[in-house]
Amino acid sequence: MSDLKKKAVVLVSGGMDSICALYEAEQSYEIVAAISFKYSSKHNRRELPFAAFHCKKLKVPHRIVPLTFFTSHFKSRLLKNGGNIPDGHYQEESMKQTVVPMRNGIMLTIGAGLAESWGAKFIIIAAHAGDHAIYPDCREAFMESMGDALSLGTYIGARLVRPFIKMTKSEIVTRGTELGVDFSKTWSCYKGSKLHCGKCGTCTERREAFILAKQDDPTEYRSVGPLPNKPTSIPVFSG
Amino acid sequence: MSDLKKKAVVLVSGGMDSICALYEAEQSYEIVAAISFKYSSKHNRRELPFAAFHCKKLKVPHRIVPLTFFTSHFKSRLLKNGGNIPDGHYQEESMKQTVVPMRNGIMLTIGAGLAESWGAKFIIIAAHAGDHAIYPDCREAFMESMGDALSLGTYIGARLVRPFIKMTKSEIVTRGTELGVDFSKTWSCYKGSKLHCGKCGTCTERREAFILAKQDDPTEYRSVGPLPNKPTSIPVFSG
């Protein structure tokens, strides 16, 4: 039966979106491997065990690719050596400091190389409609060009698949609930402490998503103070 | 004076093309860094010292990025664990076995991330007109889409620059000679032994380039037997 399914790799960080993408992909693809990256972001050690947990549950091979060069060469507050994670709303200027330049591009090209090595045509990533203008390598135009490049640059004609690209994060919560995802076993907080902080941009976004989806939020937060308002105008970021 | 120059990174393997690209770039750009990758190809240990030699000569900072995941996950005869390098002409079917899937894509996205980290807008790669139909991620259409993606996926609007894209390898030899490149301090042979073998696809191509450029070839080859003829028809590779 599984021979009839299309072969795919799924990029899985251990965050709620990518875990839902793994469950979604399982419906329609033969998942040759879920790929996680070990790259010394502050929250990487919290994410990876959840990625492993769900792969084991779904009996999907889990491959962890070490990217040792980020900490030695890249500048970003997301990384262990990069300074503090700012609190506030995800769309604020301060969150720009958490961008790891070209991170998605690097992960997608490695994913495509691995897919070609393993005979899988499809590369699945959990990019969604709420992905942020502050992250240039989350933008639609970037993803389209990168998808073309991955296809043109592989014998297999790799295809980039984004099952959630038209969905908001709260819609992903709804879909994940239908698929049976245990969200208590997913990680968002960029600070990477023992508990979700409840205050950083990613925690704010996570809390909003459950509220908007009208789903119980099983996450244990260190702080559940009032959520910050969205900025009245979304800043435009450029060069 | 250098403040007036455009800031660039150059991808430098230590091969003749990329060393010439480094000297060419030095004419028009402020080279923030030359980037080499340590990735366990058989010939990597021969290339890297030459990359370092020319960077030191030109007083260009040299950054070596370790890519430890290739040997553990990728299949290619180019890699240490991948089997023997075939002899013959570069354009033959057997050379397909030396492709490392999406290698250029991975190196370019990392180069763009580093460029953005270091405030450089330009990413220079020594792709040339003879780059081979067997390598999907050397193809023009791939490079165009990837160039768009790198630009769209960075704040700085990174620009992919290919100074040799309209030149053949023998024209690069001519240009390198004008620029004062010592070709005895460049490496091509995929086998990575102490001397260039003189027989593999890359050695064949190297020897042809000097002959066509009517330049003395300073390379010490283990074998200088007759060069193989080009295949009468270039095979078309697909999926």
Provide the ipTM.
Answer: 0.87
Which residues in chain B have Cβ-Cβ distances shorter than 8 Å to A136? 152-155
Tell me how far apart the alpha carbons of residues B11 and A68 are, in angstroms, rounded to a whole number: 19
Determine, yes or no, domain membership for A238: no
Yes or no: say if A106 and A142 are a contact pair by the CB < 8 Å rule: no
Tell me how far apart the alpha carbons of residues A181 and A19 are, in angstroms, rounded to a whole number: 8
Residue B138 or B97, more confident: B138
Give the CA distances from residue B55 to residues A90, A199, B8, B173, in Å, rounded to whole numbers and listed in that order: 41, 46, 14, 19
Give the CA distances from residue B217 to residues B185, B202, B209, in Å, rounded to whole numbers and listed in that order: 12, 14, 9
pLDDT single digits (tens) B29-46: 999 999 999 987 778 889
State how many domains chain A has.
1
| Structural domain for B142, as ranges | 2-212
* Cross-chain Cβ contact B109/A102 below 8 Å: yes
**Average pLDDT of A172-197?**
95
B120 touches chain A (CB under 8 A): no
Number of C-beta neighbours around residue B238 at 10 A: 8
Tell me how far apart the alpha carbons of residues B157 and B141 are, in angstroms, rounded to a whole number: 20
Nearest to A155 among B104, B115, B237 (CB): B237
Quick check: A196 pLDDT over 70?
yes
* Cross-chain Cβ contact B237/A100 below 8 Å: no
* Cross-chain Cβ contact B117/A73 below 8 Å: yes
pLDDT at A211: 95
Determine, yes or no, domain membership for A205: yes
pLDDT at B89: 66
**Average pLDDT of A124-152?**
87
Determine, yes or no, domain membership for A237: no
* Cross-chain Cβ contact B113/A105 below 8 Å: yes
pLDDT at A74: 73
* Cross-chain Cβ contact B136/A117 below 8 Å: no
Q: Where does chain A show beta strands of DSSP type E?
A: 6-11, 29-38, 62-66, 122-124, 159-161
Give the CA distances from residue A176 to residues A17, A21, A201, B47, in Å, rounded to whole numbers and listed in that order: 9, 8, 21, 49
pLDDT at B136: 84
Determine, yes or no, domain membership for A231: no
Instruction: State the smallest CA–CA distance between residue A132 and chain B in angstroms.
Output: 12
Quick check: A66 pLDDT over 70?
yes
pLDDT at B43: 83
To the nearest whole number, what is the mean pLDDT of chain A? Answer: 87
% of chain B surpassing 70 pLDDT: 85
Which residues in chain B have Cβ-Cβ distances shorter than 8 Å to A38? none
Which 8-state DSSP code applies to residue B89?
-
**Average pLDDT of B82-102?**
69
Determine, yes or no, domain membership for B207: yes
| Angle between helix B140-152 and helix B103-118 axes, rounded to 10 deg | 30
Tell me how far apart the alpha carbons of residues B145 and B151 are, in angstroms, rounded to a whole number: 10
Determine, yes or no, domain membership for B70: yes
Indicate which CATH number applies to the domain containing B136: 3.40.50.620
Model's pTM, two decimal places? 0.89
Helix (H) or strand (E) holding B38: strand B29-38
Token pair listed for B218: 């300073």
Determine, yes or no, domain membership for A224: no
Determine, yes or no, domain membership for B221: no
Residue A47 or A224, more confident: A47
